[in-house]
């Protein structure tokens, strides 16, 4: 019976709390956890921080509940609370030291958060310019890398390049990435409807983070940036002319210019007008788009089948390099 006494004491303590007090405490804890997760979201520390946070909260609850419920004046499991109190500060300090680079990047993202959002018309105009520019770059096999700023600001990176401050247009992007120009080797940053900077050095992903070791510097830079923030990066291979999109540290398959436009429209629509669309809204839009495509397929079956083979040959060309 003595072995079951701590469990009985725990149950008595839990049932002794007012329901509204428990609900309020759980709400506060949930808000704090959510804020911390959003704070580190998009950094390499996100996964580890989530796991450690869950363990930390479980130990906190157990330590507080198990440490004071016995007939001996609350000393039955005081050793657990004592160890927890002593180790909590050391663990918190250790987390700051271990995840210092990721926390620094998260703080930079908070400080640079972009509150301006473009209208749907402006977003469509930017997508048109990127599509037309990438179409020419791909056809001519000119390398290019375009970073599109979203919620996390890229001001610190833009400061390392050459300030442009001009409206986004296909001729401007084509001129920047034309071989021989001073800025063609590095990245362009687009903020809203403006080319904020060109000749920007982006953080590089480790070779082990790449899906294919043959990917070159542009692809590594695209993956490296999107691992650290929520930006979208469009990269054109100088070797094959293939166009890919990088987001959240992942590279898409090779895209043609029409697929590029569709993907950019889908991914950038979630930040239009400063509001993120709900999952239901996105699902509805995808269903409507699929239905629209389905109604047009029968009339264009022959044309589509004729275009499929060249498209596949382009997408399966040899190794990518920047």
Residue boundaries of the structural domains of the chain = 5-111, 120-315
CB 234 within 8 A of CB 127: no
Do the Cβ atoms of 190 and 147 come closer than 8 Å? Answer: yes
Enclosing H/E stretch for 281: helix 279-296
Higher-confidence residue: 28 or 18?
A: 28
Q: Tell me: the pLDDT tens digits for 54-96?
A: 777 777 766 666 555 444 444 555 666 677 777 777 777 777 7
Residue 243, SS3?
strand
- In this prediction the pTM is 0.54
Mean pLDDT confidence for 11-27: 77
Q: Name the 3-class secondary structure at 207.
A: helix
Range 38-54 average pLDDT: 66
Winning range, highest mean pLDDT, from 144-158, 262-276, 282-296: 144-158
3.60.20.10, 3.40.1700.10, 3.20.130.10, 3.40.50.300: which CATH number matches 120-315?
A: 3.40.1700.10
From the number of C-beta atoms within 10 Å of its C-beta (0-12, 13-18, 19+), residue 242 rates as: buried
Average pLDDT over residues 183-199: 92
Q: Identify the pLDDT of residue 120.
A: 79
195 strand-pairing partners: 166, 190
Q: DSSP alpha helices (H): ranges in 67-99?
A: 78-98
* CA nearest to 314, candidates 252, 257, 242, 262: 242
Please compute the mean of the pLDDT values over residues 45-60 and round it to a whole number.
Answer: 70
pLDDT at 111 over 50: yes
pLDDT tens-digit map of 128-167: 999 999 999 999 999 999 999 988 778 888 888 999 999 9
């Amino acid at each position: 019976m003595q072995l079951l006494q701590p469990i009985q004491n725990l149950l008595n303590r839990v049932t002794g709390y007012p329901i509204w007090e428990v609900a309020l405490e759980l709400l506060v804890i949930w808000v704090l956890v959510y804020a911390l997760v959003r704070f580190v979201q998009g950094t390499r520390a996100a996964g580890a921080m989530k796991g450690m946070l869950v363990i930390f909260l479980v130990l906190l609850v157990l330590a507080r509940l198990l440490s004071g419920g016995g007939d001996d004046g609350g000393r039955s499991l005081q050793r657990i609370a004592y160890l927890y109190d002593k180790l909590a500060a050391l663990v918190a300090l250790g987390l700051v030291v271990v995840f210092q680079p990721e926390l620094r990047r998260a703080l930079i993202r908070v400080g640079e958060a972009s509150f301006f959002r473009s209208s749907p018309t402006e977003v469509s105009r930017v997508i048109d310019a990127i599509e037309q520019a990438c179409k020419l770059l791909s056809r001519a096999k000119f390398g290019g890398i375009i970073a599109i700023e979203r919620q996390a600001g890229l001001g610190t990176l833009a400061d390392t390049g050459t300030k442009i401050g001009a409206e986004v247009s296909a001729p401007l992007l084509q001129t920047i990435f034309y071989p021989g120009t001073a800025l063609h080797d590095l990245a362009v940053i687009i903020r809203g409807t403006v080319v904020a900077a060109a000749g920007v050095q982006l953080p590089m992903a480790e070779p082990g983070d790449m899906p294919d070791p043959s990917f070159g510097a542009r692809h590594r830079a695209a993956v490296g940036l999107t691992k650290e923030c929520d930006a979208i990066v469009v990269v054109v291979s100088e070797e094959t002319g293939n166009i890919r999109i990088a987001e959240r540290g992942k590279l898409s398959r090779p895209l043609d210019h029409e697929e590029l436009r569709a993907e950019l429209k889908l991914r950038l629509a979630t930040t239009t007008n400063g509001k993120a669309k709900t999952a239901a809204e996105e699902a509805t839009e995808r269903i409507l788009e699929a239905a629209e495509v389905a109604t047009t397929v029968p009339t264009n079956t022959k044309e589509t089948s004729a275009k499929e083979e060249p498209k596949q040959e382009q997408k399966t060309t040899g190794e990518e390099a920047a």
